[in-house]
Amino acid sequence: MQMEISRRRFLQGSVALSVVGGVGIGSSELFSSEHEKGDGVPSSLTTKTGKGDAEFVPTLCEMCVNKCAAIARVENGVVTKLDPNPMFPKSKNMLCPRGNAGIQALYDPDRLKYPMIRIGEKGEGKFKRVSWDEAYDAILNGTEKFKGLKQILEEEKDNRSTFVFCAGEGMAEHTFKTFYTGFGSANWLNHASLCLRTVVSGYGVTLGAYPQADLENAEYIVMAGANRAEAIVTPDTMDFFKRTKGRGAKLICVDPRFTNTAAKADKWLAIKPGTDLAFVLALTYVAMDEGLYDKAYVEKYFNGFEEYKEHVLGNGYTPKWAAKITGLEEADIYEVARDFMKHAPKAVYYPGRRSTFAKNDFQLRRAMAIFQALGGGIDTKGGLIFGKKIPLKGHEVIAPMYAQAEGVNVDRKKESAGYADCAVVSGGGSWLGFRNRVLEGRNPYPVRGLFVYKHNPIMNMPNRAKTEKFMKGLDLVVAIDTMPSDTVMFADVVLPECTYLERTDPVKTFGGAEPAIAVRNKVIDPMFETKPVIEIMRGLTEKISKPLFEITKKYDEDVQEMIQEEGEEATYAEYDLTVPFKHSQEELNEHAVSDYPGAAEILKKHGVYYPKMEEYFKKVSVNEHQYYPEEKRYYSVQGGKPKTNSGKVECNLKSLAKKGIDPMPTWRDEYEYRVPEGKFRMLTGRHAQFTQSGTANNAMLHDLIHENYIWINKRVAKKKGIEFGDLVEVTSGAGSVRIKAYPTEKIAPDQVFFIHGFGEESEALTWAYRSGGNDNAVIEDVIEPVYGGAAMHETNVEIRKV
């Protein structure tokens, strides 16, 4: 691949990319470049922006979770440019390097092009190209290599829960989940337990919702464990760092590493990993002991305050106590607590938007939410805000009750329903807990199949070796994806989804101080034989719905009784899997916004809609726009009242004690930071130019960072004879990985770090294949005990120079 583009111009957003015969490296001919045969990306394709006629289509980016609005320039059916859409309040006329690289996601020669079924051993990556109907038939009836739905469900007497469904984050996740709901399984796993589950849940049970931080108006920000300056470059990130220097907002960075965020902060607190809970409890101690909190707010909106105060003060959670645990200075803890309360309610303890750190993460988020509320900074300008959402209409789905479908996967040794390895069964499940129960045989019924959509658990879940074993043990794995990822290599049937620029996704409402509705409009027709997931589900359900109902008739006495009373046709209508997919996505979107006259047309034209948009929206300066007048923004929707059922901040959740969970945030000795002599605490994180493993093969982004390096303290590296670029082997109880070294003073002597999303093993990925190291090959599967999240910073590793 030849890229006629300078890095400087790319970062500025002026992208000109030519695809000149990219070479795909694959384990079978299916993944090789087939330009001569006319099956690959045309060798003559150029995405250089021309000067002729062009069509401009508003859409939404999918290169990260932020979903910025973009306008695609299309010339002769080719997307030649992606520009930011100035009309979306969330993205504020910005498109980052990842967003610009969306063109490469569309024209990646390695992308999945047509349906395939496995012909080799699972994990070997040997497939044959088939038609869509043949792929659907293989899912239903199997092949000589694997079993199909019919055989498995016959053998399991219609226990639909023998199949598991998992999905990554995305606007079309809803469409895939609609299929899961109709199918009737109890087992749904999404990215949440590998991501924000404990954050969302901790704030949810304490405040009633996971709030947004009003960084635009905050005067004092504590950013702990969140690396906004380099982990995700969004408009609020950029504006926030401009404001900290421009208008005097103060930033305190709490992070084990000296990150780019720390470099831009007024104070960096190099905390020991996993000890943030002690830090927040000490901040709370100071606020309570010195009476710095907002007494009127506490009296009006707190439940269990006196109990919590007695708990914090009685346990002696003083700054002196916390200093010994966290490695921070006692004086710094006092200073942060006092300064935070002095600036409150325009002070923010940033909630975080990334994965679980440690086993105490749920209690940490609870403590953070309570400390934030002590200053009255809830549902108010400059604090944490709930914001408003513009409601959408739903559409018809089916949720039949299958009598044979067993409940959520539980421990066979326990009498009551619930996970053995976490106290609360959440809607997103526990990926690690589920996988490990299957491997350890702790299931009340067999788990035999997996439908996976836009998700890469082989790469994204701690302890890769266990995930591979889990996948190999399944009878049927169906993968829906755009790229031949490591997980796709373990599939039995591969269904190629078109990229985000080739499809219309479910319209989405975005809440906040400036709420809006936005839509991902299809920019060009799908290339090759790819389809949007709604069409994939339509074709699949048309193939499997009636045959699976025939199995249900044999084993479901309720269905048999319904047939006798109402007839088979009426009964089948309740179980018809095709119902949710009969309409096009465009029709469903029009229905969703039908309460707002003209909204459907505005969304097609501008990609964005909110009431009074024509009146409110205006250009203020070269790159600044008004979306809502200041007085019309929804900084407060509750008058400061939390969204819990009680309408109060919940300090003492006594119901949790019944599940063996501390009802109030509590420090336990087991949380202390310990690293044996000669080992290192493994830390991981994100980078703004990559989105986990999803963009690992993007050639434009790969040109910016070819591989990841492991951070190791410079003095320690010198003792070990390790220099920059040396290859080192990192080993833990989960496995080992080889990666190049980056000696630096920006990390403590007993810690190491490297970026997530590198080190794919799929040979079908030209640029990602064995590029750098996979952190999850060495991160051990430690489970956060409340919601079953993957605790990413609990692993100690050894390092040796290769």
Residue 44 confidence (pLDDT) above 60: no
Mean predicted confidence (pLDDT) in 500-510: 97
- Which pLDDT does position 416 carry in this prediction? 47
Mean predicted confidence (pLDDT) in 545-559: 97
Using CA atoms, how far residue 401 sits from 164, 444, 541, 561, 563, in Å, is 17, 19, 17, 14, 15
Q: If pLDDT is split at 50, 70 and 90, which confidence band does 7 have?
A: very low
Pick from 206-210, 241-245, 401-405, 679-683: least confident: 241-245
Using alpha carbons only, what angle is made at residue 314 by residues 308 and 316, rounded to the nearest 5 degrees?
110
- Which pLDDT does position 442 carry in this prediction? 85
Using alpha carbons only, what angle is made at residue 205 by residues 200 and 208, rounded to the nearest 5 degrees?
85
Q: If pLDDT is split at 50, 70 and 90, which confidence band does 3 have?
A: very low
Pick from 174-183, 420-429, 453-462, 582-591: least confident: 420-429
Max mean pLDDT range (8-12, 25-29, 219-223): 219-223
- Which pLDDT does position 197 carry in this prediction? 87
**pLDDT higher at 41 or 788:** 788
Token pair belonging to 148: 């199909």
- Which pLDDT does position 46 carry in this prediction? 65
Q: Distance between alpha carbon 221 and the CA centroid of its chain, in Å?
A: 24
Count the helices and strands in the chain (H runs, E runs): 28, 29
Q: If pLDDT is split at 50, 70 and 90, which confidence band does 339 have?
A: very high
Residue 40 confidence (pLDDT) above 70: no
Residue 25 confidence (pLDDT) above 60: no
Q: Which residues of 469-482 are buried (b: 16+ CB within 10 A; e: fewer)?
A: ebbeebbbbbbbbb
Instruction: For residue 243, give the nearest of 211, 212, 214 by alpha carbon.
Output: 214
CA dist., res. 333 & res. 149, Å (int): 58
Residue 461 confidence (pLDDT) above 60: yes
Mean predicted confidence (pLDDT) in 398-405: 93
Mean predicted confidence (pLDDT) in 274-280: 97
Q: If pLDDT is split at 50, 70 and 90, which confidence band does 245 have?
A: low
Q: Is 212 helix (H, G, I), strand (E, B) or coil?
A: strand
Name the pairing type of β-strands 116-118 and 163-167. unpaired
Q: If pLDDT is split at 50, 70 and 90, which confidence band does 66 have?
A: confident
Q: Is 47 helix (H, G, I), strand (E, B) or coil?
A: coil
- Which pLDDT does position 83 carry in this prediction? 95
Pick from 409-423, 432-446, 473-487: least confident: 409-423
pLDDT in tens, 657-673: 988 899 999 999 999 99
Q: If pLDDT is split at 50, 70 and 90, which confidence band does 725 have?
A: very high
Mean predicted confidence (pLDDT) in 523-544: 98
Sign of CA dihedral 494, 499, 502, 505: positive
The percent of residues above 90 in pLDDT, for the chain, comes to 77
Mean predicted confidence (pLDDT) in 499-506: 97
Instruction: For residue 107, give the nearest of 218, 18, 179, 228 by alpha carbon.
Output: 18
Mean predicted confidence (pLDDT) in 680-686: 93
Residue 617 confidence (pLDDT) above 70: yes
Residue 180 confidence (pLDDT) above 60: yes
514 Cβ contact partners less than 8 Å away, ≥ 6 residues apart: 89, 90, 610, 627, 628, 633, 634
- Which pLDDT does position 355 carry in this prediction? 73
Helical axes 557-566 vs 533-555, angle rounded to 10°: 90
What's the whole-number average pLDDT of the chain?
90
- Which pLDDT does position 9 carry in this prediction? 30
